[in-house]
């Protein structure tokens, strides 16, 4: 490391952050190589003339962003595993669709072959006929108004979410942008954000890109551990809690009503906001549809409800929607404008027509039937695998199973083995923030993208790989 080049002269930035940034830069630019040892904390501190705690904080930040790795007793080293995580993640939704020789239990989005292309195409052409050039002008930053009205009707009817009018709805270019905008509006560098653990890594990445620090709270079978949450709120005073209250990704947990109420109470008492990320509550296999947390937030005070249509319609729409609490309204519109001015007018207008037609309800029923079939096939196969020590909770809906491997198996290594045999899924490490290094005992099996025959085939590969491991033991 070129210590000589490190200067901590910016008076308006904490020193630890300046140190973090200059080491990060040396690693990114290849001036520090993977495996290289970082200077000892005490010696670096004295060379730079700062407290040891400044160096400790910078190293911790680097570690939690995977730039460096601590080795017990021997110090910190530049990571070489950093890209591993992203490799799996990226391939899951992209390249593997087209690689028909691999069975895909990794992807969380439906296969393009079941998208409602014909009816959506009709909507697009109707919009182009009707609105002509205006379909390609700028729309309002908070979204095409008739679409916001359609969505609000849907939220009212299906989820008992009531807000005064469509002004409280903000259209976004997909749920990921929603999370990014929430971070921009609410977070400053150094702020704390509570997430479930395990959780969706794309949300963690967006919060971290604002300089936020993540506090992970463990999941029970009916939602976050509320005692742990309460304690961590008291200590860290977070700004935000990020939850997926229904069919949580990846654990498939639904929150109990009791925990939802407790969550809301904690938010109110501590004046913090909850982001409720909902991508698949429509896909329930139980008799009763679970209600969102947002339905309890009757004064529209502290829950930002974020709705994605990627899993129930098509991911490539890049259109999602947020319900914004009263106090935050103008901030969100402004930040949306700075982010990308507005989301595609053509797609918003076409989606509006689609929602207003009967096609939407029909398609939803069709998706539910397809997914229920796949769910049953995967479930039946999983029951057979219990004899190898595999464990899981049967989910009430959603698109995944969260499967605990036998004690002697590493999810990461098992993933490599299955991949070599033509099956991919997501090993648990992806869903944990880096502090939790030992979470290598679960895999997420998704039935979003594979058809019924492929599911049977994939489960047979899984069994074969389990069997051989079982016999090795």
Rounded-to-integer distance, Cα 100 and Cα 102, Å: 5
d(CA 452, CA 94): 21
The answer to whether 274 and 241 have CB atoms below 8 angstroms apart is yes
Q: How far is the CB of 114 from its own copies (least distance, A)?
A: 7
Q: Provide CB contacts within 8 A for 131, sequence distance 6+.
A: 349
Q: How far is the CB of 6 from its own copies (least distance, A)?
A: 14
| Residue placing its CB nearer to its own copies in the complex, 203 or 243 | 203
CA angle 372, 374, 379 (to 5 degrees): 95
Q: Closest separation between CB of residue 174 and its own copies, Å?
A: 5
Give the nearer residue to its own copies in terms of CB position, either 36 or 93.
Answer: 93
| CA–CA distance, 210 with 400 (Å, rounded to integer) | 30
Residue nearer to its own copies on the CB measure, 197 or 308: 308
Is the distance from CB of 322 to CB of 332 less than 8 angstroms? Answer: yes
Please check whether residue 96 is in contact with residue 108, taking contact to mean a CB–CB distance below 8 angstroms: no
Q: Which is nearer to its own copies, 27 or 224 (CB)?
A: 27
Contact 410, 440 (CB under 8 A): yes
Rounded distance, CA 249 to CA 395, Å?
A: 11
Shortest Cβ distance from residue 298 to its own copies (Å)? 20
Instruction: Give me the torsion for CA of 131, 133, 137, 143, rounded to 10°.
Output: 20
Complex with its own copies: residue 161 or 342, whichever CB lies closer:
342
Q: How far apart are CA 164 and CA 149, in angstroms?
A: 11
- Nearer Cβ to its own copies (256/434): 434
Nearest approach in angstroms of CB 113 to its own copies is 6
How far apart are CB 429 and its own copies at their closest, in Å?
Answer: 18
CB of 191 to its own copies, least distance (A): 8
Antiparallel, parallel or unpaired: β 192-197 and 169-172: unpaired
Give the strand order in the sheet containing 303-308: 169-172, 320-323, 303-308, 273-278, 240-243, 192-197, 213-220, 223-224
Please report how close the Cβ of residue 43 comes to its own copies at its closest, in angstroms. Answer: 23
Q: Which is nearer to its own copies, 338 or 468 (CB)?
A: 338
Task: Report in angstroms how near the CB of residue 439 gets to its own copies at its nearest.
Answer: 22
Q: Strand pairing partners for 443?
A: 403, 427
Nearest residue (CB) to its own copies, 20 versus 392: 20
Quick one: 183 or 290, whose CB is closer to its own copies? 183
**How many Å separate Cα 144 from the centre of its chain?**
26
Cβ nearer to its own copies, comparing 277 with 463: 277
Q: What is the CA radius of gyration of the chain?
A: 24
Sign of CA dihedral 83, 85, 89, 92: positive
Three-state SS at 79: coil
What minimum distance in Å lies between the beta carbon of 87 and its own copies?
A: 12
Minimum CB separation of residue 344 from its own copies in Å reads 5
Kindly state the tokens that stand for 425.
């899924």
Task: Decide whether 318 or 391 has the Cβ nearer to its own copies.
Answer: 318
Residue among 378, 349, 254, 366 at smallest CA distance from 313: 366
Angle, vertex CA 176, rays to CA 373 and CA 309, nearest 5:
40
């Amino acid at each position: 490391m070129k210590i000589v080049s490190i200067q901590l002269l910016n008076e308006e930035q904490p020193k630890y952050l300046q140190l973090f940034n200059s080491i990060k830069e040396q690693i990114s630019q290849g001036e520090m190589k993977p495996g290289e040892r970082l200077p000892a904390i005490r010696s670096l501190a004295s060379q730079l003339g700062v407290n040891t705690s400044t160096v400790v904080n910078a190293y911790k930040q680097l570690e939690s962003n995977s730039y460096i790795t601590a080795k017990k007793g021997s110090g910190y080293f530049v990571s070489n595993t950093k890209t591993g995580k992203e490799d799996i993640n990226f391939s899951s939704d992209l390249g593997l669709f087209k690689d028909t020789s691999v069975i895909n239990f990794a992807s969380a989005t439906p296969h393009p072959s079941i998208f409602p292309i014909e009816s959506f195409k009709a909507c697009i052409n109707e919009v182009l006929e009707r609105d002509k050039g205006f379909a390609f002008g700028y729309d309002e930053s908070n979204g095409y108004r008739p679409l916001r009205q359609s969505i609000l009707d849907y939220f009212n009817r299906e989820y008992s979410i009531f807000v005064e009018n469509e002004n409280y709805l903000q259209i976004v270019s997909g749920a990921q942008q929603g999370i990014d905008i929430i971070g921009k509006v609410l977070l400053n560098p150094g702020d704390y954000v509570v997430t479930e653990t395990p959780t969706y890594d794309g949300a963690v990445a967006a919060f971290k890109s604002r300089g936020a620090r993540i506090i992970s709270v463990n999941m029970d079978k009916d939602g976050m551990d509320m005692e742990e949450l309460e304690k961590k709120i008291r200590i860290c005073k977070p700004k935000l809690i990020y939850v997926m209250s229904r069919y949580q990704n990846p654990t498939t947990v639904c929150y109990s009503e009791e925990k939802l109420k407790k969550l809301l109470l904690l938010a109110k008492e501590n004046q913090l906001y909850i982001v409720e990320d909902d991508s698949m509550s429509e896909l329930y296999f139980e008799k009763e549809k679970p209600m969102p947390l947002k339905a309890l937030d009757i004064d529209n005070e502290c829950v930002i409800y974020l709705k994605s249509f990627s899993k129930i319609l098509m991911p490539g729409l890049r259109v999602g929607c947020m319900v914004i609490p009263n106090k935050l309204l103008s901030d969100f519109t402004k930040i949306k404008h700075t982010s990308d001015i507005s989301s595609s007018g053509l797609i918003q207008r076409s989606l509006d027509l689609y929602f207003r037609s009967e096609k939407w309800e029909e398609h939803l029923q069709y998706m539910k039937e397809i997914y229920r079939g796949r769910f049953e096939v995967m479930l039946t196969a999983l029951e057979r695998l219990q004899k190898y020590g595999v464990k899981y909770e049967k989910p009430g809906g959603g698109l995944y199973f969260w499967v605990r491997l036998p004690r002697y198996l590493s999810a990461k290594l098992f993933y490599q083995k299955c991949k070599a045999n033509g099956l991919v899924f997501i090993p648990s490490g992806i869903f944990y923030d880096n502090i939790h290094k030992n979470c290598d005992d679960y895999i997420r099996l998704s039935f979003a993208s594979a058809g019924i025959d492929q599911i049977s085939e994939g489960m047979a590969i899984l069994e074969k790989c389990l069997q051989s491991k079982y016999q090795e033991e």
